[in-house]
Amino acid sequence: MGDVKLEHVSKHYDDVTAVDDMNLEINDGEFICLVGPSGCGKSTTMEMIAGLTIPSEGKVFIGDREVTNLPPKDRGVAMVFQNIALFPHMDVYDNISFGLRLRNYDKEEIDRRVERASEIVQLGGMLERMPDEMSGGQRQRVAIARAIVRNPDVFLMDEPLANLDAKLRVHMRTELQRLHKELDTTIVYVTHDQAEAMTMSDRIAVIDSGQLQQIDPPLVCYNEPANLFVAGFIGSPSMNFLDGEITENGFVSTNIDVEFDPANVGVEVGRDVTMGIRPEDVYLVQNERQVANPTHRIEATTDVLEPMGDEIFVYLKLAEEAHADLEEASVAANDQLLMSVSPDSDIEEDRDVEVVLDRTRVHLFDTETGIALSHGIESTIQASGPADAEAESDD
Amino acid sequence: MSSETSGVGVGADDAEMKRGPLGRWVDKAIKNPDRVYRAMFYVATVFFLVTTLFPFYWLLVLALTPNRLITNMGLLPKGFQPEVFITMFERVPFHLFMFNSFVLGISTTVIVLLIASLAGYVFGRLRFPGKSILMLGILAISYFPPAAFLIPLFELFTGNTALSIGAVTISSPDLFNTPAPMVLPFSALFLPLSIFILTTFYGQIPDGLEDAARVEGTTRLGALFRVIVPLSAPGVATAGVLTFIAVYNEFFFSFLMNNGEASSWAPIVAGILKYQGQFDTPFNLMAAASIVGVLPVAVLVIIAQERIVSGLTAGALKE
């Protein structure tokens, strides 16, 4: 019933392409987040599902019907808007029952449904209030009640929490998840906040410049990002990226070398690659035992510390490694590395430290295209021994 | 006292000079400029009240004075004859002329509001090429002198125009002495102003509200009349009142597109002129009729003003 399918959907405005050949399949009952930076086309995608925007090319299906050119009212969708969009001249009851009254439901049925919807979103006793007499969270709940009262096949939510304060947002996040469990209806949720997307959804569709980058469950997007954009967008703080090159000994850059046998990883020698490593996969040498398969030690100086309470973010300045074989000093921004350590770590600013990386969590991307080449380079355990020794003698 | 002797008054505020009442007033006004603004406000208000209300007073003076005494009128009535307000209905069925005026005014207002709402929606909320040129064109219509249209429209509405398509000749219907030849030009002439007002109002309604209405189950038209129009109530009221008053006051087409009989949909213009006989001109009756004719509009303005001022606060929206 509530599955949504976009087939080669594009939207062009004059000379701007908002959405470019989008293919998306959303299953019935799924909670899916469209996530991306502002202006990436996620809202346009949602508007095309809702019918508020007609695609320039491609087809939209809801259930087994093609709805590409149907007006919004005939699509069986309900929508919650970023600006809440309650009708200011109607009280809560009239707002919630607006769609039902348009469809000529009888009075008792409307009463019953409004009653039930307002119970679900905990709005009992507020049905006579006007929108301007309510707080932001209450208005948002009215908007949600207005959406659920019609039992739509698909819910569309366009950044519904963006205008709420931080505390209320977290609260409404759990309420929405509870609501999804209760109603078991397809929810398409647009957000620019990757944390929201990670916590709520069954699958995340990461969109950038109008193109779908990856659609996968949150942890897959986190652990196996399909490309550089997804790797950088999902996760906070962002993944570390280091530009370098593949040699027979593995990854080589101006500041960090990681030894492995390129053949085992399936990357050809001489290719320009970007290595990605998340802050939590960088370890201090004294914690090396926590890592099953560490790289060799990397020298660095601590720069700035950001204690967050449950962890400390450490900005490391990397020492430059001398490389005869690396012709161009590729990128200057290579000398920084962000590490997260537990709050009880003995660490201070401006100290020389040594760190190791978790080999299983090292990502390699093609620098030019951004496409992921490998997630983890563990397959070189045997070869790493002598290579390590070589590298150390180089230093 | 020293300042008086030295002749320098300004700045020596501790000095008590011998001044007239105006001098004292000026002195206080310099210390407290609010007094000046208040005084200016009163002067301006009184000026406007006198210029707008004096004609009504003058009408009342004329109405109450018996007709034979209306010569060399002063500021006071030369007699007291309140029966004139009854006589005026006996002499001419003035209530019928007023009814005609109302029908013309209301039907024009309804037509104008309907069409101007559609146009206002298009100009205020949609983007399309040539929008500003089209808007300018519509506004230009309102600058046309109605006299420029009179002869062709008169020919058209009296059935003297025919259109030939091949062998078929269609003659325009004879609409003289019906409301149509008045309502149609009124609507055309007063539309631009209403379109302009409604465009501004409809353009200010956030897109989210219209989108919400459409997702909830209205068409674009439904969203216009269920959400956008109610939220633009002050604008719609303004456009409606202005149109109604303009039609009610209109003289040109009202006078020329009928034979001046109440049964021919002639409005109050004809009613007032009807008092004039071949041998006498009862100024008192005409003045009384004018006062009665003005009353409904005065009441309407007072009511609508409340509505326009109160408006609707769009508080449910976070932008």
Do the beta carbons of residue A82 and residue A158 sit within 8 Å?
A: yes
Residues B258 and B152 both lie in one domain: yes
| Distances in whole angstroms, Cα of residue A389 to Cα of each of A295, A297, A354 | 12, 11, 16
Please report the pLDDT score of residue B15 as a whole number.
56
CATH code assigned to A237-394: 2.40.50.140
Residues B200 and B234 both lie in one domain: yes
Residues B120 and B258 both lie in one domain: yes
Of B211, B227, B318, the CB nearest to A52: B211
Residues B75 and B93 both lie in one domain: no
Confirm whether B218 is domain-assigned. yes
Residues B130 and B244 both lie in one domain: yes
Residues B118 and B181 both lie in one domain: yes
Residues B154 and B292 both lie in one domain: yes
Residues B206 and B297 both lie in one domain: yes
pLDDT of residue B306 exceeding 80, the answer is no
Yes or no, beta carbons of B208 and A82 under 8 Å apart: yes
pLDDT of residue B214 exceeding 60, the answer is yes
Please report the pLDDT score of residue A386 as a whole number.
40
Distance CA B212, CA A89 (A): 14
Confirm whether B255 is domain-assigned. yes
Q: Of B58, B82, B106, which residue is a domain's last?
A: B82
Of B215, B222, B316, the CB nearest to A50: B215
Q: Of B41, B67, B82, which residue is a domain's last?
A: B82
Taking CB atoms within 8 Å and a gap of at least 24, the contacts of B245-248 are: B245/B297, B245/B300, B245/B301, B246/B186, B246/B190, B247/B101, B247/B104, B247/B105, B247/B108, B247/B109, B247/B186, B247/B190, B248/B101, B248/B105, B248/B296, B248/B297
How many domains in chain B? 2
Instruction: Supply the CATH number for residue B282's domain.
Output: 1.10.3720.10
**With the C-alpha atoms ordered A182, A184, A185, A190, is the resulting torsion angle positive or negative?**
positive
Average pLDDT over residues B145-174: 85
Fold of A4-229: Rossmann fold (3.40.50)
**ipTM of the assembly?**
0.79
The interface residues of chain A toward chain B in range 126-155, judged by CB-CB distance below 8 A, are 130-132, 134, 136, 139, 146, 150
Confirm whether B298 is domain-assigned. yes
Please report the pLDDT score of residue A135 as a whole number.
87
Is the CB of A76 inside 8 Å of chain B's CB atoms? no
Chains A, B: CB contacts under 8 A, how many?
Answer: 87
Confirm whether B1 is domain-assigned. no
Q: How do the pLDDT tens digits run along chain A, 395 residues long?
A: 789 999 999 999 888 899 999 999 999 999 999 999 988 999 999 999 999 999 999 999 998 899 999 999 999 899 999 888 899 989 999 999 999 999 999 999 999 999 998 988 888 888 999 998 898 888 988 999 999 898 899 999 998 888 888 888 888 888 889 889 988 899 999 999 888 899 899 999 999 999 999 999 999 999 999 999 999 999 888 999 988 888 888 888 877 888 888 877 878 888 889 999 999 999 988 887 888 788 888 888 898 899 988 899 999 988 776 554 554 544 445 678 899 988 888 888 888 888 888 888 899 999 889 999 888 886 444 444 444 433 333 33
Do the beta carbons of residue A96 and residue A146 sit within 8 Å?
A: yes
Confirm whether B10 is domain-assigned. no
Confirm whether B105 is domain-assigned. yes
- Which DSSP category does B67 fall into? G
| Domain residue limits, chain A | 4-229, 237-394
Residues B263 and B177 both lie in one domain: yes
> Can you tell me whether residue B55 is helix, strand or coil?
helix
Distance separating the N- and C-terminal Cα atoms of chain A: 63
Please report the pLDDT score of residue B311 as a whole number.
40
Q: Of B82, B102, B126, which residue is a domain's last?
A: B82
Confirm whether B229 is domain-assigned. yes
Is the CB of B213 inside 8 Å of chain A's CB atoms? yes
Please report the pLDDT score of residue A394 as a whole number.
39
Distance CA B246, CA B252 (A): 12
Of A83, A103, A156, the CB nearest to B317: A83
Is the CB of B83 inside 8 Å of chain A's CB atoms? no
Residue B62 belongs to what domain range? Answer: 16-82
Q: What's the whole-number average pLDDT of chain B?
A: 85
Yes or no, beta carbons of A89 and B230 under 8 Å apart: yes
